[in-house]
Structure 1
Amino acid sequence: MGIPHFLAIPFQVSSHINPLLQLSNVLAKHGCKVTFLYTEFNHKRAKNSAAAQDHDDEESSKMIKFVTFPDGLGPEGDRSDSMKVLQSIKRTMPSLLPKLIEDINALNFENKITCILVTFNMSWALEVGHQLGIQCAALFPFSATSVASVHFIPKLIEDGIIDSDGNPIKSQEIQLAPNMAMMDSKHFLWCNLGNDFFKHLVQETKTMELLAEWWLCNSAYDLEPGAFSISPKLLPIGPLMESDSSNNNNNKSSSFWQEDTTCLEWLDQQQPQSVLYVSFGTLAVMESNQFKELALALDLIDKPFLWVIRPDNMDNKRNHKYPDEFHGRKGKIVDWVSQKKILNHSAIACFISHCGWNSTIEGVYSGVPFLCWPFFIDQFWNESYICDIWKVGLGLNKDDNGFISKEEINKKVLQLLGDEGIRERSLKLKQVSRNNLAEEGGQSTKNLENFVNWAK
C-alpha cells in the first residue's frame, strides 16, 4: 500500500496559501506526499520573490511538489479583484482538474492522489474529487468563529437578524453562543461584499458540509472554546506555525513580495520591547489622508517603528505620499518582511495590525500586544477577541467620518505600552496557544495525528 498523497488546492490569496503550505509541511513531516497547486500567475510571482529559493528546496525534498494551473484570465487580466479571479477559476478548472489528476497519478504510479485538501472558496475541487472517488478534506484558514457565523446563517435569517440577502435588518450586538465575543450585526464577514458573495458563501458551506470528511481549522480550542462547541465536525489543528521552525530547511514562505532581511539586523540594535511593528497584511488598502495621518502619528509617538508598506499599496493608482512634515527618523520602512521572525524578535513592543486571522494567530503565538485597526471581512470579529475576550490589545476610536487621528493613535499606543496587565496576558496566551501544539497532550497535535492516521 502506498503512502497518503494529498492534492492541496488553496484559494489563491496569501492568507489561504500560507496556512495550507504550513499544513503541507506538517503532513510531509509525517511521511505524506503533497502536490500543491498554484495558479501560473501566482507561481511566477512566488518564483520572482525571495521565496523562490524556498520553493526549490521544497521540491527537492520530494515530499512536496508544486504544480501550476491556469486561472482563466489572460496575461493582462486584472487579478486585484479576488472574487473575479475565483469566478474565473470556477469556470475554467472543474473541466481541467481530472486530466491534471490523471497526469499527476501517471508520475506517481505507486502513490496516487488519495485526498483532495482545499481551503474555503475552492469547493468546486471537492465536487471533482467526489466524482473521481477521491476522499476530501477542508482547511479553514480563518477563525472558528467565522466558520460558526456562516453555519448560523439560516438561524440568523429565521431570527430576523439578517434578511435573505445577508443584510443586517438593524444594527445590534449579538452573541452566537456562550463564551463567544459579542458581534455587531453590521460586521458580519459578508457585509459590504455584495449579494453574489453572500450566495457564494452559503453554497460553499453546503458543498463542504456534504463532501469534506474533515473540517480542519487554523485555531486552538483554548482560543475559541465557544465557537468549537457549535460543530463537532470542526477540529482545531493550530496555530499552524511550521514555517517558524528554527531549521532553515523548513523555513518555507509563500511571499509574493521580496522580503527585507536588513530589518532583523536593525531590530538587533534596538532596545527590548521598544519597537512598534506596523503591518496591515496582504489585502487592506489605506486611504491617502489616513495614510498621511498614520505617518504623522509615528513621528508624534517618537519611538522606533518598523512599518511594512506593500509595493502595491504605494502605486500611482492609490497615490500614497508621505506628508512633507514626516521625518520618520526613528523608523524603518520596508516593502515586506518575514512576519513570524519579526514578531518573535525581543525588540518588538506591540503590533499595530489589521487583525487578519493569520496575523492575529502569529501575534498571539509570539506574545505581542495588539493595537487593532480592522478594515473588513472577519477583522472586526478578531478585534473583539483580542480586546474583549483575550484582553491582549486595544482598539482605536474613529471620528464621525471614520477617520483615526494621530492624537488617538498616540494616546492608545502609550496606553497599550504602559499596561502591564495586557503584557502579562499576552505572554500567558502565548503559552496557552503553544501548549496546544505540545507533542504530549497538545489538543491540536492530537487532532493532526488523527487526521494523518485517517489518511494513512
Structure 2
Amino acid sequence: MAKGHVLVLPMPCQGHVIPLMELSHGLADDGFEVTFVNTEVDHALVVAALPAGGAAELRDRGIHLAFIPDGLTDDEDRKDLNKLIDAYSRHMPGHLERLIREMEAAGRPKARWLVGDVNMGWSFVVARKLGIRVASFWPASAACLAIMLKIPKLIEDGVLNEKGWPERQETLQLAPGMPPLHTSLLSWNNAGAPEGQHIIFDLVCRNNRLNDLAEMTVCNSFHEAEAGVFKLFPDILPIGPLFADREFRRPVGHFLPEDTRCLEWLDAQPDGSVVYVAFGSMAIFDPRQFQELAEGLELTGRPFLWVVRPDFTPGLSKPWLDGFRRRVAAGRGMIVSWCSQQRVLAHAAVACFVSHCGWNSTLEGVRNGVPFLCWPYFCDQFLDRSYVTAVWRTGLTVSPSEDGVVTREEVRSKVEQVVGDAEIRERARLLRDTARACISEGGSSNKNFKKFIDLLSE
C-alpha cells in the first residue's frame, strides 16, 4: 500500500525534468505513488528515449508518466523561453485541473500533494483549489532563487528598475560566501530576446508570490556548497546533490537516447586523461565558434569526449564536420549526440569538464570531483560559473576575444591550465567528499530529505 499519491510537475525543460525525476525515484523508494506530469511534447521525447521496457520499469517502481499540452503548436520553437513561458502560463492550468479530475474519475487514488517546480507557480493555485497540498522544488542554485527573492529590495535600493533591468553596472554579492554576479548577467535578463524579457521577469515576480502557497521549499543543493544562501534563507532546505541510483541505470527523463558506446571508449583511455565537453540541452553555437572549439580540442593533443546534439550548430558545413569526425575517429576523440553524463563524470578517465555550467551539470561535476572549464550560455549559468571560479575555486573560465569568439588557442590554453592545476584538483576532491557526506546517512541533505518525506507522509 503506497504512502500516498504525489503529483510531480517540472518546468518543461530538460534541466528541470531530470532533477525532479531523480527526486521522484527517491519518493518511490520511500513508498509513494508518483504521477510525473510532463508536457505532451516532452513526454513523447522521454518515452522515445527510454530503453526497452523503461516505461514499464518506472510503473513497477510506482512512477506513472502523464502529460498535458503546453499551448504551443507542433512547429513552434520550445527553446524560445519567452514563447514557452507565455504559452504554458496561460494554457496549462486548465489542462492540469482536467488531468487531475480524469485520474480520480478513472479510479486513481486522490493526489494528496503536488511537488511543483517553483517556475510553475500557477500549478500551486490549481492544486490548492482541488484540495491538494503543495511543496515546491527549486532546480537551480539556491543563490539564483535568493537573488530572485531579493528583487523588491534590489529595486528599492536602486540596483534594478521596476522592469528588472539594471540601473547600475556593478557586481552584486548578497551575503558573504555567495557568488558575486555582475548586474549585466542577471538570469531573467539573459534568457532570450530582450523584447520578451518582461515575460520572464513577470513570471519570476509572480512565482515569488505564489511560492508562499507551498508548505516547504526544497532544492537540489547541499549546505556546504551554498552556506551563505542558507544562512540568508534558512527555510529553503537543500536535499542534494540528487541522483536516482548509484549505478545511474534508472531512467531520469532524458529527451534524447543515450549513446552508451562512449563508456566503452572511456574504459580504453588512461585515468585522468579525457576532456569531457558538453553544453546541456539548450546552448546553440554558430559554425565559427563550433570550429574554433573543435580545433582547440585537437590542439590539446588529449583524448576528448564531446556531446554534440543534432541541433547544436545549425548551418555547420557537413563536409567540414565529416572531415573533423574522420580525423578524431582514429582514437583521439569521440563525438556523441547524448550520453549518460553522470556515468561519464564518474569515470576515472575524465580529467576535466568543459561545461555550460547548468546547475545539474555543475552538481554532477562537483559530486564526482571533476575540475571545470566554464563556458556559460544563458540564464543562471553565469552565477554557477561564479561559484566554480570565485567561491569553490574548482575551475577556470574561458575568455572570449574582442569579437565574442572563444578561440582555439584559448581552448587549448585553458584546458591545459585546468588539467595541470593540482590545487584545483584537490579543492574539487574535497568538495566531492563534502557533497557525498551530505547525502549519506546523517548528513545535512539526508536529514532534510527525511523532513520532506515526513511532511509528505502527513
The alignment's TM-score, normalised by the length of structure 2, stands at 0.94
Q: Distance in 2 between matches of 1:32 and 1:117?
A: 12
Q: Distance in 2 between matches of 1:47 and 1:133?
A: 30
SS at match of 1:383: helix
Aligned length: 448
Residue 24 of structure 1: aligned partner:
24
Q: Which has the higher helix share?
A: 2
Residue 205 of structure 1: aligned partner:
208
SS at match of 1:160: coil
Matched-pair contact (CA < 8 Å) for 1:9–1:116: yes
Residue 152 of structure 1: aligned partner:
150
Residue 103 of structure 2: aligned partner:
104
Residue 380 of structure 1: aligned partner:
382
Q: Distance in 2 between matches of 1:231 and 1:149?
A: 11
Q: Distance in 2 between matches of 1:414 and 1:2?
A: 52
SS at match of 2:223: coil
Matched-pair contact (CA < 8 Å) for 1:314–1:320: no
SS at match of 1:444: helix
Q: Distance in 2 between matches of 1:381 and 1:80?
A: 21
Q: Distance in 1 between matches of 2:119 and 2:52?
A: 26
The within-5 A match list for 1:234-245 is: 234-242=236-244, 244-245=245-246
1:11: how far off? 0.7
Q: Distance in 1 between matches of 2:201 and 2:97?
A: 29
Matched-pair contact (CA < 8 Å) for 1:3–1:31: yes
Q: Distance in 1 between matches of 2:5 and 2:298?
A: 52
Q: Once the two structures are aligned, what percentage of the paired residues are identical? A: 40
Gap change, CA 1:52 and 1:98, over 3 Å in 2: farther
Q: Deviations along 1:223-278, whole A, 9 cap, x unmatched?
A: 00001112222110000012x42274xx2231111211110000000000000000
1:182 pairs with 2:192: no
Q: Deviations along 1:148-204, whole A, 9 cap, x unmatched?
A: 000111111111111111111222112111111221111111124412211221111
Residue 445 of structure 1: aligned partner:
446
Q: Deviations along 1:12-52, whole A, 9 cap, x unmatched?
A: 11101000000010011111111111222111112222446
Residue 301 of structure 2: aligned partner:
302
Matched-pair contact (CA < 8 Å) for 1:39–1:70: yes
Gap change, CA 1:435 and 1:320, over 3 Å in 2: farther
Matched-pair contact (CA < 8 Å) for 1:51–1:253: no
Residue 333 of structure 1: aligned partner:
335
The within-5 A match list for 1:228-239 is: 228-239=230-241
Q: Distance in 1 between matches of 2:99 and 2:164?
A: 37
Q: Distance in 2 between matches of 1:285 and 1:241?
A: 27
Matched-pair contact (CA < 8 Å) for 1:24–1:64: yes
Q: Distance in 2 between matches of 1:54 and 1:2?
A: 21
Unaligned runs of 5+ in 1: none
1:219 pairs with 2:221: yes
Matched-pair contact (CA < 8 Å) for 1:58–1:64: yes
SS at match of 1:65: strand
SS at match of 1:67: strand
Gap change, CA 1:455 and 1:331, over 3 Å in 2: same
Matched-pair contact (CA < 8 Å) for 2:86–2:199: no
Residue 44 of structure 1: aligned partner:
44
Letter in 1 for 2:149: H
The alignment's TM-score, normalised by the length of structure 1, stands at 0.94
The within-5 A match list for 1:125-136 is: 125-136=123-134
SS at match of 1:94: helix
Gap change, CA 1:321 and 1:217, over 3 Å in 2: farther
The within-5 A match list for 1:21-170 is: 21-51=21-51, 53-61=53-61, 63-108=62-107, 111-170=109-168
1:280 pairs with 2:279: yes
Letter in 1 for 2:243: M
The within-5 A match list for 1:232-381 is: 232-242=234-244, 244-246=245-247, 248=249, 251-316=250-315, 322=320, 326=324, 327-328=327-328, 329=330, 330-381=332-383
Matched-pair contact (CA < 8 Å) for 1:288–1:321: no
Residue 194 of structure 2: aligned partner:
none
Gap change, CA 1:290 and 1:146, over 3 Å in 2: same
Q: Distance in 1 between matches of 2:264 and 2:412?
A: 26
Matched-pair contact (CA < 8 Å) for 2:79–2:282: no
Gap change, CA 1:258 and 1:7, over 3 Å in 2: same
Q: Distance in 2 between matches of 1:78 and 1:432?
A: 40
Letter in 2 for 1:13: C
Gap change, CA 1:322 and 1:204, over 3 Å in 2: farther
Q: Deviations along 1:353-388, whole A, 9 cap, x unmatched?
A: 000100000000011000011111111111111111
Letter in 2 for 1:279: A
Matched-pair contact (CA < 8 Å) for 2:2–2:33: no
Unaligned runs of 5+ in 2: 192-196
**Between 379-388 and 69-78, the greater mean CA deviation after superposition:** 69-78
RMSD of aligned Cα (Å): 1.9
1:66: how far off? 0.9
Q: Distance in 2 between matches of 1:319 and 1:162?
A: 43
Gap change, CA 1:56 and 1:127, over 3 Å in 2: same
SS at match of 1:333: strand
SS at match of 1:190: helix
Q: Distance in 2 between matches of 1:435 and 1:380?
A: 27
